[in-house]
Amino acid sequence: MKALLLILLLSLQGLVQSACLTRGTGDMGIIIERASGSVLVIDTTAHEVLSRIEGLGDLSHASAVFSRDERYAYVFGRDGGLTKIDILCGKIVKRVVQGGNSIGGAISQNGKLIAVSNYEPGGVKVFSSADLSLVADIPATQTNKGKGSKTVGLVDAPGQRFVFALYDTGEIWILDMKQPDKPALSKFTDIGRLPYDGLVTPDGRYYISGLFGEDGLALLDLWHPEKGVTRILDHYGKGEQQLPVYKMPHLEGWAVAGDQAFLPAVGHHEALVVNMKDWKQSGRIKLHGQPVFVMARPDGRQLWVNFAFPNNDTVQIIDSETQKIIKTLKTGKGTLHMEFTPRGEEVWISVRDQDEIQVYDTESLTLKTRLKAHKPSGIFFTNRAHQTGL
Amino acid sequence: MKALLLILLLSLQGLVQSACLTRGTGDMGIIIERASGSVLVIDTTAHEVLSRIEGLGDLSHASAVFSRDERYAYVFGRDGGLTKIDILCGKIVKRVVQGGNSIGGAISQNGKLIAVSNYEPGGVKVFSSADLSLVADIPATQTNKGKGSKTVGLVDAPGQRFVFALYDTGEIWILDMKQPDKPALSKFTDIGRLPYDGLVTPDGRYYISGLFGEDGLALLDLWHPEKGVTRILDHYGKGEQQLPVYKMPHLEGWAVAGDQAFLPAVGHHEALVVNMKDWKQSGRIKLHGQPVFVMARPDGRQLWVNFAFPNNDTVQIIDSETQKIIKTLKTGKGTLHMEFTPRGEEVWISVRDQDEIQVYDTESLTLKTRLKAHKPSGIFFTNRAHQTGL
């Protein structure tokens, strides 16, 4: 009887321990498996997959943010689904379908609120990060077709604020959620035609919106919203020749190194260099194809670039100081996303058509290891919890 | 019998769960209790003390770094003790007394190595972060008294490097640990008299050493070590009048906001503003006392300053844009250290003589809550794991 009891106790102990991991979460992350509606939970120290969580719906173009304790990820699906997952227990905590067609979200500075921007119906919804209950519903301006404008480019900013753009009506709105029961909106209109994406600089100061309907970018200084929206980089965009654009680049992929920003050109095989003191273009770097993401290594010394079809089998690495390409890697077809480890010693790259993640050493620029994944796209590490605008 | 079994099982389950916490570690931190040789483990979301860990030896002037998974803290004591603690289980994992009198340490970019700089005997020892076994022992240059120079200002830098200064012999050394069994040293001599502390800029590029024996600071560009050490800010220091200096300011307290750095003046009631493009002084801000730490809120919009005796009951807050003081707080005697939450919505301040931690909202600049602590000094949050030079 004693032996039986011991076996029972040990197996229960095993169950308790296997159900959820007791471990630090600072070296964890998730990888979106877009075709199967699942995510992998990974360990960046051991280079291991810890679990697969299924049932997240349509994850094409999905993105994610992390809770301030780095235990939970909030995954924004294209189908309007918002899923809270527990990366220690490898399971879904809660899932709501909050809109018909969504395009990303953000977590507030204090970690208490999750905002989601929607295409269909337009507008932004704000949820409690604890239980995904609705806190605020912000409808967008009506278009002349009688529908709410699509909302895009949603980011968080210091002071419990969210910032986003209205695609159809050409606006930027600041949503101040300091008093969650009294959402306060500041609206900037006529900011340019068809803003399609946005970013906030890593310090949380400047919100920048890309325009699909005209060239140039719209800039808002969040330290001085009273100054209104100004236009920068007048030639940024598709340009007079109306080049074919295979994929509009992600503005979130802006890289900042020192006081220079590096951004993907639209339609051209180039990265642009912008002086952040005056927001004027100071250079351009010829590339292998149309860039999608231009990402800075955390120390700003290198920029890693991936490309749109048909060049999406390649990654190029630029030295930020000399602005020269120092290496061209053939990673494989469907190279979709890159994520640096927090202190930049590695970069993880998703290669969809090879069903794998490739991990590179960023000093030797060589492949360290590969992990299997089903059609991987976005890679998100927990240290994003500690950063503004990610 | 079944009931007994159930009770036994439940109590075992309770034990397993209570021994160590299953939770995210991104919102955790530790507070040094200097008088009692203990640390508090805290939760910055709940504003709670989770555990107290005792037996860490002499913790006056102690500092700490975190493992890359944010589960373990490595605490550097003044008595040469290096203690690895597990913040989920609230206990010491291992403790070694590695030198006679130490002055801080650093963790390598990949998280595998812990380096400690020693006063007595001089030199740097490098340990495995896993088990604190010795990996490398780097003796310092002998002084003409036949002892190794004191080593100070030890920081980590990208590329598995550590950088530190030799107090007695006026040197800066770069220690490259890419091959742990073949430590590679680059030595820079005649860098100035009596370097007493050092810092690396947040991007890991510039190492700067303060000089006790003369005015000015020694600067080394780690992207271009071949250019050697140069001198900047010739008037930085005690100056011709040989002012009484109550406490040499911490260089680690340099704050960077945009391309300006704000640093504590030595002996003067001032913060200095330095343009990082040319490393020239661009301004000075009058303060309430001799500053010890000048810390930037993570978004760079505010600087929080504490002071040396007899003004160590005060904190002043500077607007980085206008360079004006926007608030003076009377926090209480023995205000020793400040730590911002990762995204800057709060700052935690240790007030030794009141045996408490005060938590301020950085937008309203008002007190949110207090926590009890025994003679608290340094406060260290886990997000330091993800940052260079902290």
pLDDT in tens, B360-382: 999 999 999 999 999 999 999 99
Nearest to A24 among B25, B204, B345 (CB): B25
Which residues in chain A have Cβ-Cβ distances shorter than 8 Å to B158? 299, 301, 343-345, 363
Q: What is the pLDDT of residue A17?
A: 47
The pLDDT of residue A245: 60
Residues of A in contact with B386 (CB under 8 A): 26, 342-343, 383, 386
- pLDDT tens digits along B35-74: 999 999 999 999 999 999 999 999 988 999 999 999 999 9
Count how many residues are written for chain B: 390
> Given an 8 Å threshold on Cβ–Cβ distance, is B16 in contact with A13?
yes
Report the b/e string of A211-229 with b at 16+ CB within 10 A.
bbeebbbbbbebbebeeeb
Chain B residues whose beta carbon lies within 8 Å of the beta carbon of residue A42: none
Minimum-distance CB partner of B67 among A24, A68, A258: A24
Q: Search chain B and give the residue with CA nearest A298.
A: B203
Nearest to B24 among A13, A44, A69 (CB): A69
Q: How far apart are CA A146 and CA A92, in angstroms?
A: 36
Using the CB atoms, write b or e for B166-180: b if 16+ within 10 Å: bbbbbbbbbbbbeee
In contact, A216 and A231? CB cutoff 8 Å: yes
Chain A partners of B342 at a C-beta cutoff of 8 Å? 68, 385-387
A-chain CB neighbours of B340 within 8 Å are none
Considering only CB atoms, which chain B residues are within 8 Å of A110?
A: 343, 345
Which has the closest alpha carbon to B187: B151, B240, B145? B151
- Phi and psi at residue B185, in whole multiples of 5°? -110, 140
Interface test with A, best of B7, B21, B68, B176 (most A CBs within 10 A): B68
Residues of chain A with pLDDT under 50: 14-17, 240
**Best mutation target, A69, A71, A72, to test chain B (most B CBs within 10 A):** A69
Q: Which residues in A lie closer than 8 A to residue B17 (C-beta atoms)?
A: 16
Give the residue from chain B lying closest to A159, CA to CA. Answer: B363
**Does A204 sit within 8 Å of B299, measured CB to CB?**
yes
Q: Which residues of A touch B204 (CB under 8 A)?
A: 299
Whether residue A321 and residue B21 make contact (CB cut-off 8 A), yes or no, is no
Using alpha carbons only, give the angle B131, B337, B293 rounded to the nearest 5 degrees.
110
pLDDT in tens, B234-254: 888 766 455 555 666 777 767
Cβ–Cβ gap A45/B68 under 8 Å: yes
Q: Which residues of B touch A130 (CB under 8 A)?
A: none
Nearest to B45 among A8, A69, A203 (CB): A69
From CA A62, how far away is CA A104, in angstroms rounded? Answer: 7
Q: pLDDT band at residue B88, thresholds of 50, 70 and 90?
A: very high
Residue among B27, B259, B301 minimizing CB distance to A69: B27
**Residue A243 CB neighbours (<10 A):** 14
Complete edge-to-edge strand list for the sheet that includes strand A113-120: A101-107, A113-120, A123-128, A134-138
In chain B, whose CA is at the least distance from the CA of A205?
B299
Average pLDDT for chain B? 91
pLDDT tier for residue B17 given thresholds of 50, 70 and 90 = very low
Angstroms from A41 CA to nearest CA on chain B = 14
Number of inter-chain CB pairs under 8 A, A vs B: 165
- Cβ neighbours of A109 in B, within 8 Å: 343-345
Q: Which chain A residue's Cα is nearest to B2?
A: A5
pTM for the model: 0.94
Residues B304-345 have pLDDT tens digits of 999 999 999 999 999 999 999 999 999 999 999 999 999 999
Residue A283 in tokens = 């250079």
pLDDT at residue B178 is higher than 60: yes
Q: How close A388 comes to chain B (CA, Å)?
A: 7
Give the minimum alpha-carbon distance from A266 to chain B in angstroms, rounded to a whole number: 28
With 0-12 / 13-18 / 19 or more C-beta atoms within 10 angstroms meaning exposed / middle / buried, residue B68 is: buried
What is the distance in angstroms between the Cα of A89 and the nearest Cα belonging to chain B? 9
> Are the beta carbons of A161 and A179 closer than 8 angstroms?
no
The token duo for B212 is: 């006790």
What count of residues does chain A have?
Answer: 390
Q: Phi and psi of B8, rounded to 5°?
A: -60, -45
Q: Give the nearest partner residue to A383 out of B16, B88, B386, using CB atoms.
A: B386
Per CB-CB distance under 8 Å, the chain B contacts of A21 are 22
Contact B67 A26 (CB under 8 A): yes
Residue B374's SS3 state is coil
Q: Inter-chain contact B203–A258, Cβ cutoff 8 Å?
A: yes
Which of the residues A10, A27, A87, A179 would you substitute to probe the B interface, choosing the one with the greatest number of B C-beta atoms within 10 Å? A27
| Distance of residue B7 Cα from the nearest chain A Cα, in angstroms | 11
Q: Which of A30, A11, A27, A29 is nearest to A19 (CA)?
A: A11
Note whether B74 and B96 are within 8 A (CB): no
Residue B13 has pLDDT above 60, yes or no: no
Q: Please tell me which residue of chain A has the smallest CA distance to B21.
A: A22
| Selection from A169, A172, A150 nearest residue A161 by Cα | A172
What single string gives the DSSP state of each residue in A25-71? Answer: -TTEEEEEETTTTEEEEEETTTTEEEEEE------TT-EEEE-TTSS
